[in-house]
Structure 1
Amino acid sequence: MAVHKLMLDDVFDDVAYTLVAMHCTLEDYRLVFLLNKHLKIKLARRSKDLDFNKGKSNYSIFEWEDEKQLTTWSLVSNTCKTESLQEISFGSLFENQEKITKTTHLIPEYKRVNYFLKIENEFSSSKEKYILDTILEIPQIATAYSIDTFQLKSKDNLIFS
């Protein structure tokens, strides 16, 4: 009986995408408005946020699928702040509770980055530079830069579907 071996190496290749890190203090909806205006895109909030650790950390996400260019644009927050109550006892008769704010990051290697813009398409370097220059023209954004995705340790967190 013959043995058939199937090779699936080409099927699971990495999807080409550009990742732009942005530093700004804007709320996510305000940043989306400015990006839509300057880049002429149509980002809209997803009905559900990104959920990691079984609901312990949620990250806001905005997406737009460009049918003409076959491109998917995603803006995701890098920080999630959660509050919890922790009981403090000093050996006294009364128990006290203290609010603890815990901050988690989608991409822990870039803790200072506020938002990531992921563009799923293979752009030429000139198109990528145009997008980055357009983002840097927005006065409310302190800085923005491209990230080499091959160097990321937590690139699995960037799989949104």
Structure 2
Amino acid sequence: MAVHKLILDNVFDEVNYTLIAIHCTLEDYRLAYLLNKNLGISFKRKMCDLDLNSGKSSFSIFDWEDEKQLLTWSLVSNICVKEIYEVAQYQSLFNTEYKVTKTFNLVPEKKRVNYFLKIENELSENKEKYIINSILNIPQIATAYSIDTSQLKSKDNLIFS
């Protein structure tokens, strides 16, 4: 009897997706609206934000499934700003709390990026360039560019489902 051996080394390692960084000062809902209008897509906000670090930080996320081309689009914020009350470290007669503003990033290597646009499944290079050029045509966006995901250390944070 013949023995058949299947080698599945790299089959499950990488999920193919395109990651586009967007730099702008817009609120998340305004950016989603402008992307919907200019790209002909239909982002909708998810019911629950993306929770990271057991509730310490949460990131807004919008998604849309393109059933014609079998693509899943996700727009996620990279920056979360939270105000936290901390007790003073010095000894005092009174308990003093003060407000501290902390900033968390979904992808710490890319701290200056405001939003990420993640498109799951294969995109041709021409389609990717078309999407980036369409995003750059929005006047409120400073810049947008593609990111090589193999260079990211915290790419596990980009797994949304």
Tell whether the structures are fold-level matches, with TM greater than 0.5. Answer: yes
Determine what percentage of the aligned residue pairs are the same residue.
69
Are positions 1:22 and 2:5 aligned together? Answer: no
Rate the CA distance shift 1:96–1:21 in 2: closer, same or farther, 3 A.
same
Are positions 1:76 and 2:100 aligned together? Answer: no
Deviation at 1:81, TM superposition (A): 1.2
Check the 8 A contact 1:89/1:95 in 2, yes or no: no
**Count of residue pairs the alignment pairs up:** 160
Summarize the alignment of residues 41-52 of structure 1 with structure 2, pairs less than 5 Å apart. Answer: 41-52=41-52
- Listed as ranges, the gaps of 5+ residues in structure 2 are none
Deviation at 1:92, TM superposition (A): 4.0
Letter in structure 2 aligned against 1:138: I
1:158 — aligned with what?
A: 158
CA-to-aligned-CA distance 1:4-24 (integer Å, 9 cap, x gap): 976443541412111000111
Letter in structure 1 aligned against 2:144: A
Deviation at 1:124, TM superposition (A): 1.2
Letter in structure 2 aligned against 1:128: E
Distance 2:28 2:19 in 1: 17
Rate the CA distance shift 1:155–1:89 in 2: closer, same or farther, 3 A.
closer
Check the 8 A contact 1:89/1:96 in 2, yes or no: no
Q: Cα RMSD over matched residues?
A: 1.9
1:38 — aligned with what?
A: 38
SS of equivalent to 1:41: coil
Distance 2:67 2:91 in 1: 64
Q: Give the TM-score of the pair, scaled to structure 1.
A: 0.92
1:99 — aligned with what?
A: 99
1:138 — aligned with what?
A: 138
Check the 8 A contact 1:45/1:63 in 2, yes or no: yes
- Listed as ranges, the gaps of 5+ residues in structure 1 are none
Distance 2:119 2:129 in 1: 13
1:60 — aligned with what?
A: 60
Deviation at 1:89, TM superposition (A): 6.0
